């Protein structure tokens, strides 16, 4: 292995740490043939529900060179979002990832910064950063980069720190020193996430029926009404759902995030059901202008609250 390869890899990992990322792993850019078959099966079963965008750009999802011509390396970065504070007891529940500022904005800025730093320290490279907004199978790349295994709930689990992480991907045309893939599955015979899922969305063999997931209904579904057969199954979740992560034994190793941008919005922690009921659209737009909650829009939030019987 050339000294350049080792130096460039060490430089990138150090830069990632400087920018606040908790973990950085690197895998060779290659076609994901096994994932292509798995994704094809998942789509054929209609597990994506109304998320029709999942059917688009199939070839881009499984081949990084289609996203970055000449791609040689896929850099995966994890950013912890586990909060140190909790919502009030009996408040309508919000997924922990949405407590603070929208992660897309936070991570995009870090990724752009990382690309610029790589260019200024290593030299001219071509690359693109992605965070949950492009056809990238980020959990597979995280596993191939040695950062953890994919649990029965479909989440990436890191042995030292659990699963409360955002995953970002940086595809570059630079050859690097690659990490060994994470090959062991430490879920074993545990079925806590499967047993606890309120809507039975977690199937065997790490297959998630996205069309049954509470996060799908409360965030992705744009219909005016949530299907009646889901009534009384939401366990008070109004935006997203953390049940499968909350019950996961590996999350006993979760520690609070150091990212200041993920500091919880006071209203997320303190709003009562009555506060949510009295919230106007104008106030919603002002309070949650930089929050992931804006994705569901004001009408979606009100629909969700009504469905779980909180307004």
Active-site annotation, residues: 132
Contact call for residues 112 and 129 (beta carbons, < 8 A): yes
**Whole-angstrom Cα distance, residue 215 to residue 49?**
12
| The token pair that represents 72 in the structure block | 């040689």
3-state secondary structure 97-149: HHCCCCHHHHHHHHHHHHHHHHHHHCCCCCEEEECCCCCCCHHHHHHHCCCCE
**Whole-angstrom Cα distance, residue 311 to residue 309?**
6
Partners of 112 in the β-ladder: none
Helices (H), the chain: 3-18, 33-44, 58-62, 103-121, 138-144, 192-196, 214-215, 243-246, 266-270, 273-278, 281-287, 297-307
Q: Which of 167, 168, 291 is nearest to 239 (CA)?
A: 291
**DSSP string covering 161-191, please?**
TBS-EEEEEEEES---PPPPP----TTTT--
**Whole-angstrom Cα distance, residue 240 to residue 215?**
4
Determine phi and psi for 181, rounding to 5 degrees.
-65, 155
| The token pair that represents 210 in the structure block | 């996205």
Residues sharing a CB contact under 8 Å with residue 35, sequence separation 6 or more, in sequence order: 61, 62, 137, 140
**Whole-angstrom Cα distance, residue 62 to residue 50?**
21
């Amino acid at each position: 292995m050339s000294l350049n390869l080792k130096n460039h890899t060490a430089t990138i990992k150090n830069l990632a740490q400087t920018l606040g990322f908790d973990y950085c792993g690197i895998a060779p850019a290659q076609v994901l043939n096994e994932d292509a078959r798995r994704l094809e099966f998942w789509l054929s079963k209609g597990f994506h529900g109304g998320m029709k965008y999942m059917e688009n750009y199939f070839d881009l999802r499984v081949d990084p060179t289609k996203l970055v011509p000449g791609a040689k390396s896929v850099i995966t970065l994890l950013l912890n979002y586990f909060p140190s504070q909790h919502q009030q007891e009996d408040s309508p529940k919000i997924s922990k990832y949405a407590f603070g500022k929208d992660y897309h904005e936070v991570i995009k800025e870090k990724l752009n910064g990382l690309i610029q730093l790589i260019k200024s320290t290593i030299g001219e490279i071509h690359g693109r950063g992605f965070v949950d907004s492009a056809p990238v199978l980020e959990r597979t790349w995280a596993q191939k980069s040695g950062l953890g295994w994919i649990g029965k709930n479909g989440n990436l689990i890191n042995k030292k720190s659990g699963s409360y992480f955002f995953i970002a991907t940086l595809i570059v045309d630079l050859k690097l020193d690659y990490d060994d893939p994470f090959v062991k599955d430490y879920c074993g015979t545990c079925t806590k996430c499967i047993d606890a899922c309120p809507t039975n969305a977690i199937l065997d063999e790490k297959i998630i029926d996205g069309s049954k997931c509470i996060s799908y209904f409360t965030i992705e579904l744009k219909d005016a009404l949530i299907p009646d057969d889901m009534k009384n199954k939401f366990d008070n979740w109004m935006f997203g759902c953390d049940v499968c992560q909350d019950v996961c034994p590996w999350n006993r190793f979760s520690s609070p995030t150091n990212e200041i941008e993920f500091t919880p919005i006071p209203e997320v922690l303190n709003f009562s059901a009555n506060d949510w009921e009295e919230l106007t659209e104008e106030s919603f737009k002002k309070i949650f202008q930089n929050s992931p909650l804006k994705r569901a829009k004001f009408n979606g939030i009100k629909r969700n609250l009504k469905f779980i019987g909180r307004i």
